[in-house]
Chains A and B, each alone.
Chain A
Amino acid sequence: DAMVIQNPRYQVTQFGKPVTLSCSQTLNHNVMYWYQQKSSQAPKLLFHYYDKDFNNEADTPDNFQSRRPNTSFCFLDIRSPGLGDAAMYLCATSVFSNEQFFGPGTRLTVL
């Protein structure tokens, strides 16, 4: 089945230790998104790639970076995680501006 895959599902890191979250898709969608969802809150868009074009949200902290080496993969890098970065990180894809399909998420814990 075509799908959006996120690895790992659970990630524990230490305060200030860089961490990378991975997203891959078999849908061949041209747009990939990263959202942050804190407990009991709405998902919040961090950034997205429209093909190779990177689009950062104005309020996304500089601590968060992203890479998209090819159509299928997209990475979220958190350079120096703080306690406030503990959240569920959701990856999504779409064809142009159509329906978005989400992966299962990675739950990040910062100790």
Chain B
Amino acid sequence: KQEVTQIPAALSVPEGENLVLNCSFTDSAIYNLQWFRQDPGKGLTSLLLIQSSQREQTSGRLNASLDKSSGRSTLYIAASQPGDSATYLCAVRLEGNKLVFGAGTILRVKS
């Protein structure tokens, strides 16, 4: 059974700092990995999707990497801003269109 773990569970950083969020999964048989952002009481916003054949994807200040063989992904956020404060979730896609999510990392960027 695929399990997805995110470390740390919560993170508080000062504005301007670069930071890394970690995601690990137990079964490397994935089709892709997607990073999401969730603001309190809201739905999920897709940030980046990495196909299983890819190593990384970039969007603005965000960079996500994928090492499928070791079952790991990282989300790098450069020059963090208070507006980046949210919960960040990673999810792996399995056969049959199923996404398995991690529990998320709660990020707080202090001004």
Contacts and interface: CB of A to CB of B under 8 A. Distances in A.
Interface of A: 4, 6, 31, 33, 40-45, 48, 50, 55, 57, 88, 90, 92, 94, 97-105, 107
Contacts of A33: 97, 99
29 contacts: A4-B43, A6-B43, A33-B97, A33-B99, A42-B101, A42-B102, A43-B44, A43-B89, A43-B99, A43-B101, A44-B101, A48-B97, A48-B98, A55-B96, A57-B98, A90-B44, A92-B44, A97-B93, A97-B97, A98-B49, A100-B34, A100-B46, A101-B46, A102-B36, A102-B44, A102-B45, A104-B42, A105-B41, A107-B41
A9 B26 CA distance: 35
Identify the interface centre among A6, A43, A45, A99: most chain B CB within 10 Å of its CB: A43
A44 B98 CA distance: 10
Nearest to A9: B41
Interface of B: 4, 31, 34, 36, 41-46, 49, 89, 91, 93, 96-99, 101-104
A105 B43 contact: yes
B98 A102 contact: no
Contacts, number: 55
B97 A94 contact: yes
A94 B34 CA distance: 13
Contacts of A107: 41
Contacts of B97: 31, 33, 48, 50, 55, 94, 97
A interface, by DSSP: helix, strand, loop or mixed?
Answer: strand
A43 B98 CA distance: 11
Given A42-B89, A42-B104, A100 B43 contact: no
A14 B79 CA distance: 47
A67 to B, nearest CB: 18
Given A100-B46, A102-B44, A105-B42, 16 more contacts: A4-B43, A31-B97, A42-B4, A42-B89, A42-B101, A43-B44, A43-B91, A48-B97, A88-B41, A99-B46, A102-B43, A102-B45, A102-B46, A103-B43, A104-B42, A104-B43
